Amino acid sequence: MPNGPIFPSYGYYAVFLFAACTFLLSSQYANTSQIRSSWVEKTLIKDLLHDYEKRARPVVDGVSPEVSIGNYSVQQIKVEYGMALMQILQLDENEQILTVSVRSLYRWSDHHLVWNPEDYDNITHITIPTSKIWIPDVALYNYADERLEERRDCAAKVSHNGVVEWHPMAIYKSTCAVKIKYFPYDKQNCTLKFGPWTYDAGRVNGTLYDVDWNLKEYKESPEWKLLKHRAWTKTEKYDCCAEIYADLMFELIIERQPAYYNYLLILPCFLLSSLTLVVFWLPPENPAKMVLGMNIFVAFFLLLLLLKSSIPSASSSFPLIGNYYCANMTLVTLSTFLCLIVVNLHYRGDRRNEVPPWLRKLAIQHGARLLFVNVAPPGGPKSKSPEKKGNKSAQPVQPNEVTSQPPYGSAFGFYPGVPRLPYSETYDCKLY
């Protein structure tokens, strides 16, 4: 038989049993601590909200500052308000409405929500639903939204000294006067006006949360570029009330990103303007002159329709690019109208009677001076034709002589077989 003990040592079992008991005790202690902490927080919230009146301003005599209003004094509560701009969602030019996504920043002191952390297991802050406590009625004055609620409801963070922080997300739609004179390279100035809706400046002093917009979480808009921004406070007296109210102003200066409109409105305009010059270069008797002119007119009209869909119809001004479209359409119309007159004279002039003397004098003598054309009067010096070797000088064409080739081209109305005027009744025109 072996000399050692028959059963193994119980030392390993003792160590394992001790570790298991320690783990169970620590887990039980942690659960007990969590339960106690949760119980203490519930007790704290219950104690704070006991006899709490959320419809009254959280002011306490001797603690809240007092201000004089006329012949009496009231306790004043200071409310700080600011906005963290998330993104510029849209600027509707037709409706003149600016839509922005922001995170509203509220801070105020509620003296009814103060406690000693040592009495509640060193709890320094808690979260309370805003439906249970007083919140300031700061509202957007230039409101342009069909919705009744623009904020997303969330709980408020309350510190042991009574400071309440509330940061709800919101989408604000405000009015913004759109100026489209320099469209699509325009800049817009939009201001959002906030303030307490029912409390005057003596009871609720509205101040800025920060000195300016908070842009730490700002995301650039694909259509608008943020150029400048600022925030300030002012006091204003309204006709409805005798009290003075505090207003919080938030201004945004934005510039349109014109890349989309460069290809839609600017580039076609440049190409059509080049074709407008081609219309004036074509000969008057060419039928393509009228066809091209009418096509350019229709193209500019389509650009005007595209421009109309991008700008407000009730605007006090018209964009410069629209004036340029109209000017090009006017030139094309004038060119087409004059082309009709020239073609009419070109094809029907020889079938009419002779030009009256007064019209000849007005067009050739006075009109030539306006066009800087030198006209030799009848009977004046005649231009000499170059002599060829072995031939005599060229003789003037006789009155009844028929020419086989028009010397000046068909644009002047001389055709084969058509007799020309005698030389004595013609004018020698030269440019200065």
- The structural domains of the chain, with segments of one domain joined by +, span 66-257, 260-350, 355-383+397-431
Given a cut of 60, is residue 305 above it in pLDDT?
Answer: yes
Given a cut of 80, is residue 23 above it in pLDDT?
Answer: no
Q: In DSSP terms, which residues pair with 226 in a beta bridge?
A: 254
H/E stretch holding 346? helix 320-348
H/E stretch holding 309? none
Angle subtended at Cα 12 by Cα 6 and Cα 15, rounded to the nearest 5 degrees: 150
The Cα-based distances of 282 to 141, 197, 328, 339, 408 in angstroms read: 61, 69, 17, 10, 18
- pLDDT confidence of 165, banded at 50, 70, 90? very high
Backbone angles phi, psi at 348, to 5 degrees: -120, 0
d(CA 188, CA 74): 42
Percent of the chain with pLDDT over 90: 22
72-75 vs 138-140, strand pairing mode: unpaired
- pLDDT confidence of 420, banded at 50, 70, 90? very low
- Give the count of beta carbons closer than 10 Å to the beta carbon of residue 338: 13
Is residue 365 left, alpha or beta, with left meaning phi > 0 and alpha meaning psi from -120 to 50?
alpha
Q: What is the mean pLDDT of residues 183-199?
A: 91
Cis peptide before 381 (omega within 30 of 0): no
The model's pTM is: 0.67
Q: What is the mean pLDDT of residues 173-195?
A: 91
Given a cut of 70, is residue 3 above it in pLDDT?
Answer: no
- The answer to whether 113 and 124 are in contact (CB under 8 A) is no
- The answer to whether 270 and 264 are in contact (CB under 8 A) is no
d(CA 173, CA 192): 9
**According to the model, what pLDDT value does residue 403 have?**
45
Place of tokens 């018209």: 318
Q: Which amino acid is at 182?
A: Y
- Give the count of beta carbons closer than 10 Å to the beta carbon of residue 190: 22
Q: What is the mean pLDDT of residues 377-406?
A: 48
**According to the model, what pLDDT value does residue 349 have?**
61
The Cα-based distances of 104 to 12, 101, 153, 166, 208 in angstroms read: 62, 10, 11, 8, 11
The Cα-based distances of 375 to 362, 372, 396, 425, 431 in angstroms read: 12, 10, 18, 13, 8
The Cα-based distances of 52 to 63, 126, 234 in angstroms read: 17, 16, 33
Q: Which of 130-134, 289-293, 348-352 has the lowest mean pLDDT?
A: 348-352
Angle subtended at Cα 236 by Cα 232 and Cα 239, rounded to the nearest 5 degrees: 155
Given a cut of 60, is residue 418 above it in pLDDT?
Answer: no
The Cα-based distances of 263 to 179, 269, 319, 334, 390 in angstroms read: 22, 10, 17, 28, 67
Given a cut of 50, is residue 430 above it in pLDDT?
Answer: no
Q: What is the mean pLDDT of residues 121-133?
A: 90
CATH architecture of 260-350: Up-down Bundle (1.20)
d(CA 426, CA 420): 10
Fold of the domain spanning 66-257: Acetylcholine Binding Protein; Chain: A, (2.70.170)
